[in-house]
Chain A
Amino acid sequence: MTQAALGQFEHQVLLSILRRGSESYSVEIVLELEEHTRQEVATAKVFVALKRLKSKGLLEDRMVEPGEGGGHARRYFRLTDDALEAMRASRQSYLNLWDGVESHLDESGT
């Protein structure tokens, strides 16, 4: 199947969900992203990315009603098989591009 290339931020969002395990909701995704990118994340961007990923068929969602302890309804997102495929392709294209030039990182990285 023809796969639209993943944007960098989309890739990061998908990775965050993957890292959290099977499912996660917006707040968890934001926290995961912030923890690993060490940057403040614009929540709005996350929402946009989630919408877009869902419209590309890379995410599935379901509403979870609050339990006994109160709280509010949450929308949980889960990766589809297409998502894993797209991530694999995206990762591979980065690796291909990096092949042979990784030594530059060491030269200028100090």
Chain B
Amino acid sequence: MTASTDTKPPAIARRILMLLAGRANATQVEQSLAELFQLRAQRDGSFKARLWYWRQIYGFGTQRRSLNAARANEIAAGLHGGGPPASEGPNPLSPEAWLRDLRLAVRSLRRQPGFAALAIATLALGIGANTAIFSVLHGSLLRPLPYPEPERLVWMSDWHGEFEGAGMNQSVPNLVDLQAGTELLASMAIYKVRSGNLTTAEQPERVRIMYASSELFGTLRLPLQLGRDLTTQDDQFGGEAVAVLTDEIWRTRFGADPSIVGQTTELDARPVLIVGVASPRFQFRGNPQIVMALQHVGAAHELRGNRGHFSIGRMAVGADVESLRDELQGIYAGLEEQYPEANEGWSTWAEPLRDYAVGRNARSLQLMSGAVALVLLIACVNVANLMLVRAETRQREFALRYSLGATRGGLVSLFLSEGLVLAFAGGVVGIATAYWLIGALVGLFGGSLARADEIALNGTSLLFGLTISLLVGLTVGLVPLFRSRPEAVHETLKEGTRGASSRASRLGRALVVVEVALAVLVVVGAGLLANSMWRLHAIDLGLVAEDQVLTFRVSLPLAKYHEAGPIRAFYSDLRTALVRVPGAQSAGFVNRLPLLGGDNMPVSAYGDPDTTTNFTSFRMVSQGYFEAAGLHLVAGRWLDAEDFERATDAIVINQRLARSLFPDANPVGQRLGDPMLPNGAPGGFDGGLEVVGVVADVLGGSPDRAAPAAFYFSWERALDLAERYPEMLLGEQVAMSVLVRTAGDPGAMAPDVGRALRRIDAEVPIFEVRTLDEIAFDRLGTRRFAMSLFGLFAALALVLGAVGIYGVMSFGVAQRTRELGVRMALGASQRSVLQLVLSEGLRLTIPGVAIGVLAALGASQLLATMLYEVSAVDPLTYAAVALVLGVVCLAAAYLPALRATRVDPLTSIRSE
């Protein structure tokens, strides 16, 4: 027979086959398959033949029972001449055999507690980290939204050519037109999420309110658990204020009282009728606690250019998001033509609601799971290596077992049992770790994780943890099979433990190289993220000493403060009281805190609409704000006392706005068209606004975007406008953010600040008390999450990699004790032995690092979107990582090397 000797069936497959076929058939089956494999390899090439071989193995897997059953019939029928064939041994797959092997595995592992503990701890880390990340991923990303046919739900927002990506608010009149025009949406609801004060009880409470059109629950297909849904009647402007409670607030605040429906509560000191309680499954980004009727129908104040809403929709059966986008954008193109002043440059966008619910975490979570999977792989490689080393030292034992009648299948089953016992123990410890880790993750980063309340160690994640444990167990259990050649009984028994097999050590070395390479991959990722993070932290925010500023928000109940007079008095009193608080240096207030992005409006140079800069954030500021926030004046002057008292037309703009409006002129003294006047309103400021000063840019809410254009004007002016156009601006002026600057610890001032506020009006709640420093910190939320975890994984990867190198090196040294002893007896210096062993360590490290760096270069683009001002192939990071890995690996090799130099030549030679 002409068989080419270089093509052999896959070794692992062959071993699995032996196991599946049972001892009686094994030889025949294996030889037949080998023969067929050769024929195929010659005819179709070795790759196809290998695939074929694996398919055949699968066939034996499915036919295993029949193969045994056929034998059973045969025996039962006595066709074989009575009695079982002499060679029949116990089936290695029988439950008894498994139990026996498991017991044996536990016993043999207990004899080497150090090895077992190390392997279990390693696997526990890998499995635990993976289970935890999977749970986060599952709760946050994978689990479908808890609504019927969730894939039909979409979230819609506007986008503008000048702004990257969609996600801008929409205006009610445009949405009403979209709603009328769409055929691909079966239903659609308009909403916005705001905060309000629940003022029923003695203590006012800040709540998140979702103002929604009556189609909300119908679109989600979520019937209420109590009471009635919102109706089109409720959509009418000026109607009775009605609310649906969420399950959460119904339980926490209203004691789950079913009779609450029909009762009245107070929101912002206005009576609100509670008509229903939503299903516990209702949840929405922004965590609204109360759903109120939007009352948008017939609301004359809803200007087309006034974007403050979003919308959700349920697609008609058979529609898809792409065609929906086309349809909506077609409708929007018509709206742009019809209402150019409000819609020019605008269009709209639809995306699956789930993507919106998940938010910006998706990418970083996917990267996390990639990184954590690498850590698991490293852990597996490590344990496989340990198993290999162990198998090496047990060659004699195996040979002995074999010669005493153990079957090959029996040995395979023993290996697998050991792997499974280790992995199962690792899995149990790992899942316990995961439980703790999930709590820690949600606690630390819950704010920047989507659907954080749904993240838990649940059945699915348990199943995940157990499944990877099983896979890990099979993998690490199978590795020693490469090494076990029980058929070489004689050699092994003759050789004793001396014969260091080059095959095993080559495999072990290859595994270490792989491990180092994987570690490089993870550490490079962590390094790049850390580098970005460092740059993000080092950015000039545009503020002075932001760690000395306490901020909080107050919101005046509209019922009591619906006129400019009382509002003015309240804030004036508050500012005076705050400046008197011990330690306070200055205090001021603003509609939106710095570093948080802002409310935008288009702004242009006076009489020159061509210069229009969309998305200019506006800040209505009080006296003292500039000092308290710590802005830098670049040119001109601050707003002065007169501007604050008399509502002058003076404004301060930032550098970015100055550059875009007046690129060639000194901005100070220039005029802007007044963006705050409603269309055609006979305002008192027809001459526009005068730029009196330019301040340095302050960063916005998005950590990697440049500072937005901004202008600052006196809050008094806004109040003044509100008095003229009450329907337009009131509401904005009642909820303000207050800043107090101190020389000392801003947190320590909080109680005094609270007392000062209560003395002025005890009904006004204070909320979101934070330092400006914390806000700067939180801006980086998602990234910090990604970086901290990547850092953790990198540390794990480094430790595991070091353990791997250490293991292989110290085993190598132990194996070569005799050789090293001879060398030293012949005059080799300790130094040269040290060098010898260390250079061996380097021979593992250098290819590992090289492969890892190459792999990281290839994979780096995956990280690109998470980086800030760092190239994904940043040479410095790569060099640093290579260096760190090199040092760690050498350190791991150093200990065994040191041990090698202490070998006593005499004892080592005598020991054999």
Which A residues contact B (CB, under 8 angstroms)?
A: 25-27, 30-31, 40, 42-45, 47-48, 51-52, 54-55, 57, 69, 71-75
Interface pairs (16), CB distance under 8 Å: A25-B32, A26-B32, A27-B35, A27-B39, A30-B32, A43-B33, A43-B56, A44-B63, A47-B29, A47-B67, A48-B63, A48-B67, A51-B70, A51-B74, A54-B74, A55-B77
Nearest CB on A from B857, distance (A): 41
Task: Give the number of A-B contacts (CB < 8 Å).
Answer: 63
CB proximity to A under 8 Å, residues B33-92: 33, 35-36, 39, 52, 55-56, 59-60, 62-64, 66-67, 70-71, 73-74, 77, 79
Whether A47 lies near B31 (C-beta < 8 A) is: no
Residues of chain A within 8 A (CB-CB) of B55 are 40, 42
B1 interfacial contact with A, CB 8 Å: yes
Residues of chain B within 8 A (CB-CB) of A71 are 1
Residues of chain B within 8 A (CB-CB) of A57 are 79
A26, A27, A44: the one contacting B62 at CB < 8 Å is A44
B28 interfacial contact with A, CB 8 Å: yes
Whether A44 lies near B1 (C-beta < 8 A) is: no
A26, A48, A55, A74: the one contacting B79 at CB < 8 Å is A55
B25 interfacial contact with A, CB 8 Å: yes
Whether B39 lies near A31 (C-beta < 8 A) is: yes
Q: A30-B36, A43-B56 are in contact. List 5 more A-B contacts (CB 8 A).
A: A40-B52, A43-B59, A44-B60, A55-B74, A71-B1
A27, A30, A42, A52: the one contacting B70 at CB < 8 Å is A52
Q: How far is the CA of A50 from the CA of B29 in the complex (A)?
A: 12
Whether B74 lies near A27 (C-beta < 8 A) is: no
Nearest CB on A from B28, distance (A): 6
Nearest CB on B from A42, distance (A): 4
Nearest CB on A from B64, distance (A): 8
Nearest CB on B from A49, distance (A): 9
Residues of chain B within 8 A (CB-CB) of A31 are 36, 39
Residues of chain A within 8 A (CB-CB) of B59 are 42-45
Residues of chain A within 8 A (CB-CB) of B74 are 51, 54-55
Residues of chain A within 8 A (CB-CB) of B79 are 54-55, 57
Residues of chain A within 8 A (CB-CB) of B63 are 42, 44-45, 47-48
Q: A42-B59, A55-B74, A55-B79 are in contact. Are A48 and B66 (CB under 8 A)?
A: yes
Residues of chain B within 8 A (CB-CB) of A51 are 67, 70-71, 74
Residues of chain A within 8 A (CB-CB) of B60 are 43-44
Whether B32 lies near A44 (C-beta < 8 A) is: no
Whether A47 lies near B25 (C-beta < 8 A) is: yes
Whether B32 lies near A43 (C-beta < 8 A) is: yes
Nearest CB on A from B19, distance (A): 13
Whether B56 lies near A52 (C-beta < 8 A) is: no
Whether A42 lies near B56 (C-beta < 8 A) is: yes
Whether B36 lies near A43 (C-beta < 8 A) is: yes
Q: A31-B39, A57-B79, A72-B31 are in contact. Are A44 and B73 (CB under 8 A)?
A: no
Residues of chain B within 8 A (CB-CB) of A75 are 28
Whether A44 lies near B67 (C-beta < 8 A) is: yes
Residues of chain B within 8 A (CB-CB) of A25 are 32
Nearest CB on B from A87, distance (A): 20
Whether A44 lies near B70 (C-beta < 8 A) is: no
Residues of chain A within 8 A (CB-CB) of B29 are 43, 47
Q: How far is the CA of A40 from the CA of B32 in the complex (A)?
A: 15
By CB atoms of chain A within 10 A, which of B39, B63, B71 has the most? Answer: B63
Question: Which 9 residue pairs across A and B have the least CB separation, nearest first?
Answer: A51-B70, A42-B59, A44-B63, A44-B59, A55-B74, A44-B60, A26-B32, A48-B66, A72-B31
Chain A minimum-CB-distance residue to B79:
A55
